[in-house]
Amino acid sequence: MKSALKIELGRRYRFSASHRLHTSQLSEEENCRVFGKCNNPHGHGHNYVVEVRMSGDVDPATGMIANLADLDAFVERQVLEDFDHKSLNEDVPAFRDKVPTTENLCMEIFQRLKSFPKAKLERIRVEETGNNSFEYAGDNLEGNVRDQTNGRNSVA
């Protein structure tokens, strides 16, 4: 008989990347007004913290829902190799035509990790600064980005 015990695990990863918040859909003046100092033509960087939340059945043989080494390797391939020490605008194709806000970053990371074969991806949380963090739960009922910002306008 299969175990009905479900557990959720959280794992944190870190990467550094730069971005410029700017869109061709707005005038230069509007970009400056909406994005403020984040519209700097030379961009700016963050040390992001990404929390991945997975759930699944506990394997009776291993006592785990997923091997952390497998998860780490998957996150490295799917996210960290493409994002760490990169310009999100210039080096990540997903952001060539999309503003690389942390909200959009959350959704992109979720899309890249939802195919992990050994557990169900529940949500992604990305901390941009000590004051700004965002969560995305994908296709779940609570699948909207939840802005947990202190004092930052949320622009998606």
pLDDT tens, 88-101? 999 999 999 999 99
What's the pTM value of the predicted model, to 2 decimals? 0.85
What is the mean pLDDT of the segment spanning 20-38?
95
Segments forming the whole domain that contains residue 103: 6-147
In angstroms, how far is the first alpha carbon of the chain from the final one? Answer: 46
pLDDT above 60 (res 45)? yes
pLDDT above 60 (res 152)? no
The pLDDT value given to residue 2: 55
Q: Which of 19, 38, 103, 135 is catalytic?
A: 38
32 given a catalytic annotation: no
The radius of gyration computed from the CA coordinates of the chain, to the nearest angstrom, equals 17
Q: Is residue 1 part of a domain?
A: no
Q: Is residue 152 part of a domain?
A: no
Q: Is residue 88 part of a domain?
A: yes
Q: Which of 28, 44, 81, 85 is catalytic?
A: 85
106 given a catalytic annotation: no
The pLDDT value given to residue 6: 76
The pLDDT value given to residue 37: 94
Q: Is residue 153 part of a domain?
A: no
pLDDT above 80 (res 104)? yes
38 given a catalytic annotation: yes
Q: Which of 103, 108, 128, 135 is catalytic?
A: 128
* Domains identified in the chain, total number: 1
- Give 3-state DSSP helix, strand, coil % of the chain, rounded to 5: 30, 30, 40
- Residue 93: CATH number of its domain: 3.30.479.10
Checking phi first, is residue 22 left (phi over 0); if not, alpha (psi -120 to 50) or beta? beta
